[in-house]
Amino acid sequence: MISPELQKAIDGLQIQDVYLRSALARCGEDFDPKYAPLLATAVVQQMHAVKQSTLAEVEGNGRLLRVLVALGTRWVEPSPDPEEPKVLAVIEAEFVAEYRLQGELPQNCIEEFALKNASYHVWPYWREYLASQCERMRLPRLIMPAVQLAHHRNGNVDPAAE
């Protein structure tokens, strides 16, 4: 169930843009994914973090909420020491999701939206970026799941129907 603060933010923000802010894609020094037998045993690790949210007044655009979301995938060699894994390859990206404020929103609504909702808008861009980088680098094809919001009707949900 969506909290009243999150619902207020959803109702008070309108998506304007999602774009790539920075990116990193590299293989380890002695690792060639096209011919590496290690890939069959490599461990795939994921990263996802909402790094920052800021309000900005943009001339001609009104007030915008900008949310910075960092995502990453890396392939590591299995190791008995998880503190120092040997990284075979890494793909990381930071995306900015921008929203136009339709009116005033309390800070707690903005924070909850940034942490719990902005990633839903960024996720399709990350899926596409990761898939294309894997192909370009000859890394194994990863199929990231689609992410969807849980269905809600402003609290008028029949729990037996879910």
Instruction: Answer yes or no: are the C-beta atoms of 58 and 159 closer than 8 Å.
Output: no
The CATH architecture of the domain made up of 13-139 is: Roll (3.10)
Q: Is the model's pLDDT at 44 over the cut of 80?
A: yes
Instruction: Answer yes or no: are the C-beta atoms of 119 and 48 closer than 8 Å.
Output: yes
Q: Is the model's pLDDT at 38 over the cut of 80?
A: no
106-132 pLDDT per residue, tens: 999 999 999 999 999 999 999 999 999
The strand ranges marked E within the chain are 13-27, 43-58, 62-77, 86-101
CA proximity to 67, closest of 93, 91, 98: 98
Q: Which stretch of DSSP H or E encloses residue 108? A: helix 107-116
CA proximity to 146, closest of 110, 108, 119: 119
Please name the residues in contact with 138: beta carbons below 8 A apart, sequence gap of 6 or more: 33, 34
pTM: 0.83
Give the pLDDT of residue 37: 77
* Cα-Cα-Cα-Cα dihedral sign, residues 116, 118, 121, 126: negative
Rounded-to-integer distance, Cα 141 and Cα 17, Å = 27
Give the pLDDT of residue 146: 73
Give the pLDDT of residue 53: 94
Show me where the domains of the chain are located. 13-139
More confident residue, 150 or 43: 43
Q: Give me the mean pLDDT over the 81-85 stretch.
A: 79
Q: Give me the mean pLDDT over the 5-31 stretch.
A: 93
